[in-house]
Copies of this chain bind each other. A is one copy, B any other.
Amino acid sequence: MTEVKDTETLALVAEYTDVLQIGARNMYNLSLLERVGKLRKPVLLKRGLSATIEELLMSAEYIASKGNNNIILCERGIRTSEPYTRNTLDLNAVPVIKRLSHLPIVVDPSHGTGAWDLVIPMSQAAVVAGGLLIEVRQDPQAALSDGFQSLRPHKFKLLLNRLRALAPYAQRTVLDERKVSIA
């Protein structure tokens, strides 16, 4: 999965990636949504920084209206007045979206909390309600951005084991880690 930053590099990115990611700051970028809608690649559409649930669904409609229905929605936290965490992960959005739409919804606890040590507990909470998207880095401190919210591989392995135990309860499957691709 690779993030698409603009319409100009879209064709190039689409050639080399399996899933196109529309980042939170591009959720309202209608020309990009339109272009992605004309492709036949799966799209992960992240909720905007203060976008409402309704607006997220409208952006998905914008993609779908061009013919591409292969859309995964992503809750990644919204801006609130709570200063302790980078964003407030809105897990309410998961059951709400499951009721309003047939599209799958995953949760990004990395951006949704902004802190690596909150990723594991919030992943557990999210997997009970929906899917998961987690940032893993070999060397978080060397990351150009978002290092502080990334898990190292050994912590990710620990989390996968926990989720594997929890998954049957939530009628879910956790993939073998070798099948997990790291962006």
Q: What is the interface of chain A, defined by CB distance below 8 A to chain B?
A: 5-8, 25-26, 28-32, 48-54, 78-85, 88-96, 99, 112-113, 117-118, 121-122, 124-126, 128-129, 165-166, 169-170
Contacts and interface: CB of A to CB of B under 8 A. Distances in A.
Given A121-B94, A124-B128, A50 B79 contact: yes
B83 A83 contact: yes
A81 B96 contact: no
A123 to B, nearest CB: 9
A88 B94 contact: no
B95 A118 contact: yes
Contacts of A31: 5-8
Tally of this chain's copies:
4
Given A7-B6, A92-B122, A83 B30 contact: no
Given A91-B91, A95-B118, 9 more contacts: A6-B31, A6-B32, A29-B29, A52-B83, A84-B92, A92-B112, A124-B128, A125-B126, A166-B169
A82 B53 contact: yes
Contact of A80 (B81, B85, B128, B169): B81
Given A52-B82, A92-B88, A5 B30 contact: yes
Nearest to A89: B92
B6 A30 contact: yes
A50 B53 contact: no
A169 to B, nearest CB: 5
Contacts of A165: 169
